[in-house]
Structure 1
C-alpha cells in the first residue's frame, strides 16, 4: 500500500508520515518459560501530529485469554505461510489491561553520512531514496518513571533503544510498515538458558501486527 503524504503535516514529521493514524491488531506476549505457550495480546495505537512538530503516541494493550497468533514473537521474521493457532476449549476470551502508555516522538537532524542529493535522485520509494534521521521517544506509564529512548527512522522503519544505567542497551523496539501493515517487536532482557547467574540476553517481549482502523 503506497504511503500518502499529508502536506499539512509539520515538515519535521514527514519521516513518520506512515505511522500517523489509528491502528488496531493482535500479537503475542512472551512467557518467561520456553515450555509455556505465548499469550495473546490486542493493541489499540494512536499516533497523531502535534502543533510543535512532534508526534503523540498512545498505546493500550490488553491481554486476552486465548491462544497467541502463530508464529509467536516473529513480527520481523515471518514465514510466507502460517497456520491458525490451535483452538483452546478452556480459553474464555476475557480481556485484562496489560499496558497503557503515552509518549512523544521527536524527529531530529539527519544522521552523519547521509547523502541527500543521492537520495533525491533515486527512484521514489526505493531503499536508496531513504534517509536516516535521529529519533527520540519519551514513554510514560502511570506510576512509573518516564523512559527516554533513542534511535533512528529510515523510510518506513524505526529502531529504538533504551540506554541502561551501565551504558548497555536495556531494551529495543523495532517498527516496520510492510504492505499496509504495521509490525513491531519489543525486546527486553531475559535469562540466558544455561548461562551464568544474572546473565541476560535481549529476547522478544511483545510482538504485534496492526492494521489501520
Structure 2
C-alpha cells in the first residue's frame, strides 16, 4: 500500500510521520518464564490535529494454522516529540501497568529507540521494572521489538512483530 504524508499532521510530529496509519501482522512473544508463541496484532497510530499521536494496539494468540485463539495484550498510549528532539511514548495496559518511554529517532532512517523512564504498577499487577522498545520502517513494513525486565529477570527479549500498512 503506498504511503502518503498526512498534510494535516502537526509539524512537530514530522519525525514520526512514518508511524501514522493502521497496521496488521504477526509476531512472536516469549520470555524465560513463558513458552514462546505466535501472535497477531492490529495497531492504529493516528492524530487529531494536536501535537501527539494516539496509539491503540490489540494482540491475540495464534494457533499453528494462524487462527486466532484468544486475546493477549492490549495497549493504549500516546507518542510526543519534545522541543529537544526526544520522543516520548506513554502506554497504559489493562493489567495495571503504566509505562513512560523516552528515546530518540535515528537521524539516518525511520526508526525510534526507546527505554522506560518510569513504570507504575497497581498492587495487583505482575512485577515489571523496565523495558526497551525499537520501532522501525523496513521496506514499507513496521518492525518492532520489546525487551523487558520482569519477575526477577534482567532485561531480556520479549516480543517482536512485523506489520504491514492496511487500508
TM-score (norm: length of structure 1): 0.65
CA 1:205–1:143 in 2, change beyond 3 Å: closer, same or farther? closer
Tell which structure's C-alpha radius of gyration is larger: 1
Aligned match of 1:159 in 87, 92, 113?
Answer: 113
CA 1:2–1:44 in 2, change beyond 3 Å: closer, same or farther? closer
Aligned match of 1:207 in 147, 160, 163?
Answer: 160
Specify the alignment match of 1:149 in structure 2.
101
Q: CA RMSD in A?
A: 2.5
Cα distance in structure 2, aligned partners of 1:177 and 1:25: 14
Specify the alignment match of 2:82 in structure 1.
108
TM-score (norm: length of structure 2): 0.81
Aligned match of 2:50 in 52, 72, 84?
Answer: 52
Answer 1 or 2: which has greater strand percent.
Answer: 2
Unaligned regions of 5+ residues in structure 1, if any?
A: 67-90, 111-132, 192-197
Cα distance in structure 1, aligned partners of 2:104 and 2:31: 29
State the aligned residue count. 155
**Contact 1:61–1:100 (8 Å) recurs in 2:** yes
**Contact 1:62–1:98 (8 Å) recurs in 2:** yes
Specify the alignment match of 1:118 in structure 2.
none
Unaligned regions of 5+ residues in structure 2, if any?
A: 120-128
